[in-house]
């Protein structure tokens, strides 16, 4: 059965919904009521008559309407029974939030869950997970208060996480950075739906342009490989694999109870499947952001435009270290810029617009580089601190980036003022980096993804 009901249910039952604000079931039920979810939500709890004025059922089977999605948040030992009821009710999709199974040694209980799933042919995410966040439909099974965990805006990056805590941290961090998301799924112990199933679904999902995953292990190697290979032909698939050292692998086994393969095997399998491997969480999203909104480059020749010499030098170093090239402008471009700029702006690469640069000077430079056939990608360093630069620079760069002719990324570091302007750029689809090394690594990945070697 399709996974569609996890993301677009019309009816949702929250089993374990509670009037006690400290209970997870309370927060989840409330999220559905108070968030942007447009469907119907039913609380299920044998010990309550109504919650928030909505009639409570003792059992999911007592609900008269069909149920698309059931979210289970009851103590582990009650899960098999409750799941049985979901089966009888012919629930289309079930998310089991509850923990306390294989990950703490309760193998017997997890086996019981597996048998029930088979018997009723259910589709289940979890247990031991935080479930789904979908900014389009408003499905939000996260039991963390919004002041502690912000939610990102609608976008086109999907994120799959085996670890719930890690996933929630990432979501919170994305929201702060202004990175946007299409679907988010924490799948925990994966008794039924696993990373491969989710990847398959997302590869066909029209809101998703880039698929990211944090994996500790892979459930079924062959299935994963087959699906990933197919998915990566449609969309970029970027994976961060944890448990790559011997010690890390041991740590994994006691976390999600899954088997982590050795580093070497994983990396070569990933490569063969067309998966792009990220070294860290930060890099995962660095890559995702450039893949989601930048065109593929024709080559690896990069023009650096800057208003500060030091950052130009650092960026040059990292471009070379990442086996990319400094572009050499055509004579035509050089002449054009020489005419347009004051004498103290020396026309070369890095092109230092100097400390008295304004938005107009950046515009002239970027436009010339967009036209120049010797330039494949543009790295724009903006030190917002210089006195002549106003917030207008944000409009200029985002308008030029919207043409999508060549990849344009921005490098900018600083304090609060800089962060605000960077978020505006990010919001309008310009990937921003604080550090030259990250920018160069992302451009390298984009170049490789575009077919370069």
Stretch 341-360 residues interacting with a copy of itself (CB under 8 A): 344, 346, 348, 350, 352, 355
Q: Between the CA atoms of 137, 140, 141 and 143, what dihedral angle is there, to the nearest 10 degrees? A: -170
Number of Cβ within 10 Å of residue 49's Cβ equals 9
To a copy of itself, the closest distance from the beta carbon of 244 in angstroms equals 5
Does residue 242 belong to the site contacting a copy of itself (CB under 8 A)? yes
Does residue 150 belong to the site contacting a copy of itself (CB under 8 A)? yes
Does residue 420 belong to the site contacting a copy of itself (CB under 8 A)? no
Does residue 272 belong to the site contacting a copy of itself (CB under 8 A)? no
Does residue 385 belong to the site contacting a copy of itself (CB under 8 A)? yes
What Å distances lie between residue 209 and 95, 180, 289, CA to CA? 25, 11, 10
Number of Cβ within 10 Å of residue 128's Cβ equals 27
Stretch 80-109 residues interacting with a copy of itself (CB under 8 A): 99-100, 103-104
To a copy of itself, the closest distance from the beta carbon of 179 in angstroms equals 11
- Judged by beta carbon, residue 114 or residue 149, the one nearer a copy of itself is 149
**Quick check: 113 and 43 in contact, CB under 8 A?**
no
Does residue 75 belong to the site contacting a copy of itself (CB under 8 A)? no
To a copy of itself, the closest distance from the beta carbon of 392 in angstroms equals 14
Does residue 444 belong to the site contacting a copy of itself (CB under 8 A)? no
Which of 294, 307, 306, 119 has its CA nearest to residue 209? Answer: 294
To a copy of itself, the closest distance from the beta carbon of 152 in angstroms equals 9
Give the interface segment with a copy of itself, choosing from 5-13, 116-124, 198-206, 254-262 (CB under 8 A): 254-262
Does residue 328 belong to the site contacting a copy of itself (CB under 8 A)? no
CA-to-CA distance for 21 and 283, rounded, in angstroms? 37
Query: Under rule CB under 8 A, how many of the chain's residues touch a copy of itself?
Result: 80
Give the interface segment with a copy of itself, choosing from 229-237, 285-293, 306-314, 424-432 (CB under 8 A): 306-314
Give the interface segment with a copy of itself, choosing from 88-96, 107-115, 371-379, 410-418 (CB under 8 A): 410-418
**Interface characters, 175-214, with a copy of itself (x: CB under 8 A):** xx-------------------------------------x
Stretch 32-71 residues interacting with a copy of itself (CB under 8 A): none
To a copy of itself, the closest distance from the beta carbon of 340 in angstroms equals 18
């Amino acid at each position: 059965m399709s996974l569609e009901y996890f993301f677009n249910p019309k009816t949702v039952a929250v089993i374990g919904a509670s009037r006690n604000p400290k209970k997870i079931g309370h927060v989840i039920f409330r999220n559905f009521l108070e968030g942007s979810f447009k469907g119907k939500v039913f609380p299920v709890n044998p010990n309550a008559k109504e919650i928030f004025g909505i009639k409570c059922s003792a059992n999911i089977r007592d609900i008269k309407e069909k149920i698309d999605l059931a979210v289970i948040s009851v103590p582990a030992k009650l899960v098999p029974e409750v799941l049985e009821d979901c089966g009888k009710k012919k629930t289309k999709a079930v998310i089991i939030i509850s923990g306390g199974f294989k990950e703490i040694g309760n193998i017997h209980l997890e086996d019981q869950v597996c048998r029930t799933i088979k018997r009723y042919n259910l589709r289940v995410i979890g247990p031991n997970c935080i479930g789904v966040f979908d900014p389009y439909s408003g499905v939000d099974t996260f039991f963390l208060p919004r002041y502690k965990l912000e939610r990102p805006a609608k976008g086109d990056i999907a994120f799959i996480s085996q670890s719930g805590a890690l996933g929630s941290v990432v979501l919170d961090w994305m929201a702060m950075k202004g990175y946007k998301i299409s679907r988010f799924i924490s799948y925990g112990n994966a008794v039924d739906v696993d990373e491969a199933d989710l990847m398959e679904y997302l590869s066909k999902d029209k809101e998703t342009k880039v698929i990211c995953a944090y994996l500790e292990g892979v459930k079924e190697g062959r299935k994963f490989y087959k699906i990933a290979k197919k998915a990566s032909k449609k969309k970029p698939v970027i994976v961060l694999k944890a448990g790559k050292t011997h010690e890390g692998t041991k740590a994994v086994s006691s976390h999600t109870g899954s088997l982590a393969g050795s580093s070497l095997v994983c990396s070569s399998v990933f490569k063969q499947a067309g998966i792009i491997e990220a070294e860290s969480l930060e890099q995962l999203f660095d890559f995702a952001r450039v893949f989601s909104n930048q065109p593929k480059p024709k080559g690896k020749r990069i023009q650096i435009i800057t208003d500060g010499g030091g950052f130009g030098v650092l960026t040059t170093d990292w471009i070379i270290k990442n086996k990319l090239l400094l572009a050499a402008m055509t004579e035509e471009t050089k002449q054009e810029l020489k005419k347009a700029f004051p004498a103290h702006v020396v026309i070369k690469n890095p092109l230092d617009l100097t400390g008295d640069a304004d938005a107009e000077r950046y515009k002239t430079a970027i436009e010339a580089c967009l036209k120049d056939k010797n330039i494949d990608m543009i790295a724009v360093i903006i030190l917002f601190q210089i006195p002549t630069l106003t917030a207008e620079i944000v409009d200029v760069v985002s308008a030029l980036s919207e043409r999508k002719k060549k990849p344009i990324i921005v490098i900018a570091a600083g304090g609060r003022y800089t962060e605000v302007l960077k978020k505006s750029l990010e919001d309008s689809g310009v990937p921003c980096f604080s550090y030259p090394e990250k920018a160069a690594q992302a451009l390298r990945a984009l170049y490789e993804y575009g077919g370069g070697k």
